[in-house]
């Protein structure tokens, strides 16, 4: 018998890759400037949301004892991504938005999300069974937040999950490795960093959009997270401070080798040898 779960999904707005050319760097704060650049839903976060929605079935859901809550720590325009999550099927959404959260590195981000999730739990009077994240974001791509969240909660956490089966409260999972995968068996509560191969996110239907308008989208600022400590929030609370961000000057060296085929071949081989690109040549 399939159980049903209270699930949270962390979703991040990321710059639309079609506009990467407009992404800039603040020369003073060394943070990314993305003013005027449209955001998209971080792709693996849709797989994370799909995974949570697939586990939300049955009577407990109808009775409201099981739900899927989407949460994002982002500037005000992050609300658009949360509306998309509601239209896709999330039951409620929470935006953590305050200048105090700005410029956060991964530790400060996961800390803020942790306090946002704990606040939802206290408001609902029940803990989350499952916390889903994407394996990595399309911009920072540090792939650190899901594991950090697991540490803040003190829960088991798995990263790069590409296979998930649930039965009777037991989860059988597989996580991607460079040359293979690992198999796991686990029980909630846990934090999962989801890979894009896990599933195919459902399309957002017109009915989904209509229904989403009646669903709660709550915005919380710094003062709504009284349990959080300023020394772990935002740029000031971020131990990782970008040293310098620059676009490396990658340039290729071209050289003409002429002569007979044998001479050209000999010239190419000696160039490869000289470069040391191939060991033992
Ligand atoms: C180019 C660049 C380089 C950076 N390098 C570093 C660095 O080396 N170290 C560092 O600490 N920070 C770094 N940052 C800052 C970092 O991107 C932010 O802290 C970010 O909020 C979290 O890191 P991430 O995007 O790498 O998350 P990841 O760990 O890659 O994201 C994994 C998942 O966590 C969830 N998640 C992440 N951010 C949020 C959010 N704001 N709201 C909701 N869910 C979220 C999503 O489900 C996401 O799929 C960098 C940012 C940029 C743009």
DSSP per-residue string spanning 120-142: HHHHHTS--SEEEEES--SSS--
pLDDT over threshold 50, residue 116: yes
Inside any domain, residue 238 = no
- Judge residue 86's burial from the number of C-beta atoms within 10 Å of its C-beta, 0-12 exposed, 13-18 middle, 19 or more buried: buried
Task: Output the residue whose Cα is nearest ligand 1's atom 13.
Answer: 105
The Å distance, Cα 9 to ligand 1 centre, comes to 15
Indicate the number of domains in the chain. Answer: 2
User: Tell me, what's the pLDDT at 1?
Assistant: 47
Pocket test for ligand 1, best of 68, 72, 90, 109 (most atoms within 8 A of CB): 109
C-alpha 196/C-alpha 96 separation (Å) is: 25
Taking alpha carbons only, the member of 227, 11, 23 closest to residue 109 is 11
Which residue's structure tokens are 């209270």? 6
CB 40 within 8 A of CB 19: no
Q: How far apart are CA 268 and CA 257, in angstroms?
A: 8
If one compares 35 and 180, the residue with the highest pLDDT of the two is 180
> Are 130 and 46 found together in one domain?
yes
Query: Strand locations in 18-156, DSSP E?
Result: 24-25, 32-33, 39-41, 68-73, 92-96, 130-134
Which atom of ligand 1 is closest in space to residue 245's alpha carbon?
A: 1
Same domain, 142 and 280: no
Q: CA–CA separation, 142 vs 159, rounded Å?
A: 12
Cα(260) to ligand 1 centroid in Å equals 54
For residue 57, give the DSSP letter.
-
- pLDDT one-digit tens code per residue, 36-91: 889 999 999 999 999 999 988 655 555 566 789 999 999 999 999 999 999 999 99
* Residue 119 placed within a domain: yes
Q: Are residues 88 and 118 in the same domain?
A: yes
- The residue that leads in pLDDT, 84 or 21, is 84
Give, using CA atoms, the residue closest to atom 53 of ligand 1. 140
Is 244 a member of any domain?
no
In a domain, 237, yes or no: no
- pLDDT surpassing 80 at residue 182: yes
CATH code of the domain covering residue 103: 3.40.50.620
pTM: 0.88
Pairing status of strand 24-25 against strand 32-33? antiparallel
Same domain, 194 and 256: no
Average of per-residue pLDDT across 125-147? 95
Q: Are residues 59 and 108 in the same domain?
A: yes
Q: DSSP label at 185?
A: E
Say whether both 259 and 149 belong to one domain. Answer: no
On whether both 225 and 272 belong to a single domain, the answer is no
User: Does 247 have pLDDT greater than 50?
Assistant: yes
**Judgement on whether residues 134 and 26 belong to the same structural domain of the protein:** yes
Residue nearest to atom 5 of ligand 1 (CA): 140
> What letters, b where the CB count within 10 A reaches 16 and e where it falls short, cover 98-112?
bebbbbbbbbbbbbb
Residue 20 pLDDT > 50: yes
Q: Is the pLDDT of residue 31 over 80?
A: no
Is 18 part of a structural domain of the chain?
Answer: yes
Assess whether 59 and 146 both reside in one domain: yes
Asked if residue 246 is part of any domain, the answer here is: no
Same domain, 19 and 100: yes
**Rounded CA separation 15/31 (Å):** 14
- Consecutive H or E run containing 151: helix 145-153
Which residue's CA is minimally distant from atom 1 of ligand 1? 140
Site to probe by mutation for ligand 1, drawn from 46, 137, 237 as the one with most ligand atoms within 8 Å of Cβ, is 137
Same domain, yes or no: 258 and 198: no
Query: CB-based contacts of 110: which residues, under 8 Å, 6+ apart?
Result: 144, 145, 148, 149, 151, 152
Q: How far is the CA of 75 from the centre of ligand 1 (A)?
A: 14
User: In which domain, by residue range, is 263 found?
Assistant: 251-281
Q: Is residue 139 one of the residues assigned to a domain? A: yes
Considering the domain architecture, whether residues 120 and 188 belong to the same structural domain is answered as yes
Among candidates 4, 6, 7, which has minimal Cα distance to 133? 7
Q: What is the pLDDT of residues 190-234, one digit of tens each?
A: 999 999 999 999 999 999 999 999 999 999 999 999 999 999 999
Q: In this structure, is residue 23 part of a structural domain?
A: yes
């Amino acid at each position: 018998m399939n159980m049903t779960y209270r699930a949270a999904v962390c979703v991040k707005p990321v710059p639309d890759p079609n506009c990467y050319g407009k992404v800039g760097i603040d020369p003073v704060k060394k943070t990314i400037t993305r003013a005027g650049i449209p955001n998209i839903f971080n792709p693996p976060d849709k797989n994370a949301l799909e995974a949570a929605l697939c586990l939300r079935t049955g009577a407990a859901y109808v009775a409201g004892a099981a739900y899927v809550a989407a949460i994002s720590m982002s500037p005000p325009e992050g609300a658009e991504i949360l509306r998309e999550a509601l239209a896709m099927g999330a039951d409620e959404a929470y935006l953590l938005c305050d200048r105090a959260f700005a410029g956060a590195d991964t530790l400060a981000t996961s800390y803020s999300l942790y306090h946002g999730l704990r606040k939802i739990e206290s408001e609902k009077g029940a803990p989350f069974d499952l916390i889903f994240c994407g394996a990595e974001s399309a911009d920072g791509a540090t792939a650190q937040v899901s594991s950090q969240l697991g540490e803040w909660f003190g829960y088991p956490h798995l990263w790069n999950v590409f296979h998930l089966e649930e039965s009777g409260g037991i989860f059988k999972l597989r996580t991607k490795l460079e040359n293979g995968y690992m198999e796991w068996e686990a029980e909630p509560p846990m934090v999962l960093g989801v890979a894009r191969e896990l599933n195919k996110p459902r399309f957002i239907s017109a009915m989904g959009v209509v229904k989403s308008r009646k669903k709660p989208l709550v915005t919380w600022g710094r003062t709504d997270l009284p349990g959080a400590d300023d020394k772990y929030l935002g740029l000031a609370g971020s131990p990782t401070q970008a040293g310098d961000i620059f676009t490396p000057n990658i340039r290729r060296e071209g050289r003409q080798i002429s002569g007979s085929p044998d001479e050209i071949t000999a010239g190419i081989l000696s160039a490869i040898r000289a470069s040391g690109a191939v060991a033992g040549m």
